[in-house]
Amino acid sequence: MSMQIFLIQSTPFGLSCPWWWLFSLGAFLLGLLLGWWLWYEYKKRADELDKEVKGYQVKVVEMEKDYMSLKYQYDEIAKSDEKLKLALRQCEADKAVLQTKIDHMGEGGLITGRGAEGIDYTAIFGQDHLQLIEGVGPKVEELLKKSGLATLSDVATAGVDDLREILASAGSNYRMHDPTTWPKQALLAAENHWDELIAMQKTLDAGRNDTGDGDTPSKVEKLAAKLLGFSTNPEDLKIIEGVGPKIEQLLKADGINTWSDLAAASVAHLKDLLEKGGDSFRMADPSTWPKQAALAAAGNWKELSEYQEFLDGGKEPA
């Protein structure tokens, strides 16, 4: 009996043993409930933060897509601006052609001066552009004009020996030039026989006869392309309507380095390449690129210019 009294009196807070256990169990359950509530609030907040982070990640991805899209549009606008400048130059050239024809018709004649490609070389070069002669560069042109040979007709009537004497008197840097074909080239240009001149120049190398390969574009074609605003570098893929700097990099990374490479590529392969390039490239339409590249590789600048004028953002109008 004395032991039972001792146990009862020794429980915390003077509580009897059953009440002490109930009190302990209540405290435990209250602590468990509080812990669960705190964990729930933490988990809820963590889920909210995780959802918020994912939302920001989605926005970042969308912003990156928007940026790439805007960058692509900017590149295309910049290229379109170059095309507009080219169109303006062509309009100015056409204006000069019309004015020349009007002036000449007033004198009772008519100048045609067009090659097989329909390019008006007469309007592009005029009669004083001596550099269209294969073998004549800026320094030699300056020398010839200082010697009284200011026009193509002047060079055409000059003797080869006279030309050699002019070159020899200018120093050793000029003696290496061979003017044998210069009068004939000048005569063909002066008389507007452009197809014959182009064919002749393809057999020349620096003006020397029978040293060309017959395939390389003539100097007349190269200069005309440059004056019309086209690049004469076959690795410049940006002359293709619809191809900007980024797409050019993508094409070259795939081994498409020249106009001929692009002309030989299938549209299906180009579409697959753009698809693999990412969202910013998928909106590009390569359906006309091989045709444009083939025209550039063949040196058909007039046809390429007209075709690009027909296109709308590199695509044929629906």
CA distances in angstroms from 152 to 98, 109, 193, 207, 229, listed in the order given: 22, 20, 13, 15, 24
Contacts of residue 147, defined as CB under 8 A and 6 or more positions apart, other chains included, come to 166
Question: Which pLDDT score is estimated for 125?
Answer: 79
Return the number of other C-beta atoms located less than 10 Å from residue 153's C-beta.
16
Distances in Å between the Cα of 154 and the Cα atoms of 25, 148, 171 are 119, 8, 22
DSSP, residue by residue, 103-121: HHHHTT-----B-TT--BH
Which pLDDT tens digit goes with each residue over 223-274? 777 676 666 678 888 888 888 888 889 999 999 999 999 999 999 999 999 9
For residue 308, the model assigns a pLDDT of: 79
pLDDT category of residue 110 using cuts at 50, 70 and 90: very low
Give the predicted TM-score (pTM) of the model. Answer: 0.45
> Is residue 21's pLDDT more than 50?
yes
∠304-309-315 over CA atoms, to 5°?
Answer: 90
The confidence band for 278, taking pLDDT boundaries of 50, 70 and 90, is: confident
Mean pLDDT estimate for the chain = 78
CA 19 to chain centre: 88
User: What's the CA gap between 25 and 8, in Å, rounded?
Assistant: 18
Label residues 1-14 b or e (16+ Cβ within 10 Å = b).
eeeeeeeeeeeeee
User: Where on the phi/psi map is residue 135: left (φ > 0), alpha (ψ -120 to 50), or beta?
Assistant: left
Per-residue confidence (pLDDT) for residue 93, from 0 to 100: 63
More confident residue, 302 or 49: 49
